[in-house]
């Protein structure tokens, strides 16, 4: 019985679908819409490849595509059709293999995608089928991360603007966690968006504003500090210019408050949904793995069974496992750059937090530093160990235990 492979070149209009045989020859070419009718056309073409054999099934034909987040892919997976996602960079490297003159067309790209999986049958990694709950958690966690980054971007624009006319506001919360994103900072700036208004604030008014913003510790000391800072003589813009710049500050504050509120709301939603998942308490049992960080880790790892057969696969996916370049007498070990960047950044943050919450992680970090590793390299080793432990705990259903993770 023959074998077939399929490729789909996705576009906003019609999708080009190409099916090739064992020899790489095009058997079928379709142009379909991203709709139910289009999916039926694709599945019908697959069934028609060998209609006389009762041993043949369309599910024996893998489909390659570059974007695994499309509705078309979701429907194919719902129909239990195997889908392989090929990164565009891989497709680009394969494009010049069949001739010196490199050309590009939708049909040609679909045929190329099918040919890539035909030439590499032992390296097919089917798109993991995470549960609906896991996919929903991933959407919320990633959107929350985007909102946090948006809030940080707005904060940087606000800080740059304040530096032009209101240096005391920049200095007031510099060095503090979250800086101008802090609720108290936003509340004080909304009350006094110009240095003249800030200089006129009384200690009592500042005290009440800080309390209303949610601050509970050292209120009197903080109100005194801000009062003295705002009252100190500083360089100023002309009155009307300063007033106009204060209006712009109000605009940036509105942007910042909205981004912060969205990030906080999405963090609660992601944690609430993740709390109902069976893997929740396994993730939360690890040191420094708080609600938000746990949700972000789970969003990138998922719950598809068998996606990461070993801890080594997970570490490579996260970019914490080193990669070796060896040729002749040259031998170099470097960190991975081709990986899931979001997961790599989250693991870096996780490893950093674990240094003060896990004696084993701290000992491993110190040992790597003594061996000559830099800060980032030592943290990658800590992240490697944590990911190995997480993989084992998820596979076995056990919670984290410090003495098992770091014996002796």
Q: What is the pLDDT of residues 163-213, one digit of tens each?
A: 999 999 999 999 899 999 999 999 999 999 999 999 999 999 999 999 999
Burial class of residue 99, CB neighbours in 10 A (0-12, 13-18, 19+)? exposed
Provide the mean pLDDT of the chain: 92
Tell me the C-alpha distance between 147 and 153, whole Å.
10
Q: What is the pLDDT of residue 100?
A: 59
- The whole-angstrom separation of Cα 60 and Cα 19 is 13
Quote the pTM value.
0.86
Alpha-carbon distance of 12 to 72, in angstroms, equals: 12
Q: How far is CA 114 from CA 29, 85, 91, in A?
A: 12, 11, 10
Secondary structure of residue 324 in the 3-state scheme: strand
What DSSP state is assigned to residue 83? E
Exposure class string for 28-62: b at 16+ Cβ within 10 A, else e: bebbbebeeebbebbbebbeebbeeeeebebeebb
pLDDT given for residue 92 in this prediction = 83
pLDDT in tens, 56-109: 899 999 999 998 888 999 999 999 999 999 988 888 888 777 665 567 788 889
The sign of the CA dihedral 201, 206, 208, 213 is positive
Burial of 358 (0-12, 13-18, 19+ CB in 10 A): buried
């Amino acid at each position: 019985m023959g074998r077939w492979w399929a490729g789909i070149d996705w576009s906003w209009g019609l999708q080009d679908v190409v099916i090739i045989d064992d020899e790489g020859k095009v058997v079928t070419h379709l142009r379909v819409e991203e709709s139910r009718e289009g999916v039926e056309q694709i599945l019908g073409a697959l069934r028609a490849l060998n209609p006389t054999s009762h041993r043949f099934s369309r599910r024996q034909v893998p489909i390659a595509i570059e974007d695994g987040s499309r509705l078309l892919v979701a429907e194919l997976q719902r129909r239990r059709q195997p889908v392989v996602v090929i990164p565009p960079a891989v497709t680009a490297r394969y494009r010049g293999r069949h001739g010196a003159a490199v050309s590009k067309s939708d049909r040609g790209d679909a045929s190329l995608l099918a040919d890539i999986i035909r030439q590499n049958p032992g390296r097919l990694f089917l798109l993991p089928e995470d549960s609906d709950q896991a996919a929903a958690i991933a959407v919320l966690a990633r959107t929350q991360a985007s909102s946090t980054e948006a809030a940080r971007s707005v904060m940087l624009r606000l800080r740059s603007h304040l530096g032009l006319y209101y240096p005391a506001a920049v200095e007031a919360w510099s060095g503090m966690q979250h800086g101008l994103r802090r609720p108290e900072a936003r509340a004080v700036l909304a009350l006094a968006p110009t240095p003249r208004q800030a200089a006129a604030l009384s200690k009592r008014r500042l005290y009440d504003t800080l309390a209303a913003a949610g601050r509970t510790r050292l209120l009197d000391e903080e109100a005194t500090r801000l009062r003295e800072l705002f009252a100190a003589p500083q360089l100023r813009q002309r009155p009307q210019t300063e007033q106009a710049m204060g209006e712009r500050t109000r605009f940036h504050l509105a942007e910042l408050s909205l981004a912060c509120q969205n990030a906080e709301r999405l963090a609660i939603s992601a944690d609430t949904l993740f709390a109902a998942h069976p893997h929740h308490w396994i993730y939360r049992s690890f040191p420094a793995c708080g609600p938000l960080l746990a949700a972000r880790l789970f969003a990138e790892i998922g719950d598809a069974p068998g996606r990461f057969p070993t801890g080594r696969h997970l570490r490579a996916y996260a970019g914490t496992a080193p990669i070796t370049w060896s040729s002749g007498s040259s031998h170099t070990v470097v960190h991975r750059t081709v990986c899931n960047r979001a997961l790599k950044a989250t693991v870096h943050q996780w490893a950093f937090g674990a240094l003060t919450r896990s004696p084993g992680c701290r000992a491993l970090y110190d040992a790597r530093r003594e061996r000559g590793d830099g800060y980032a390299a030592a943290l990658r080793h800590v992240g490697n160990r944590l990911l190995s432990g997480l993989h084992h705990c998820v596979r076995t259903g056990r919670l984290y235990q410090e003495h098992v993770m770091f014996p002796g």
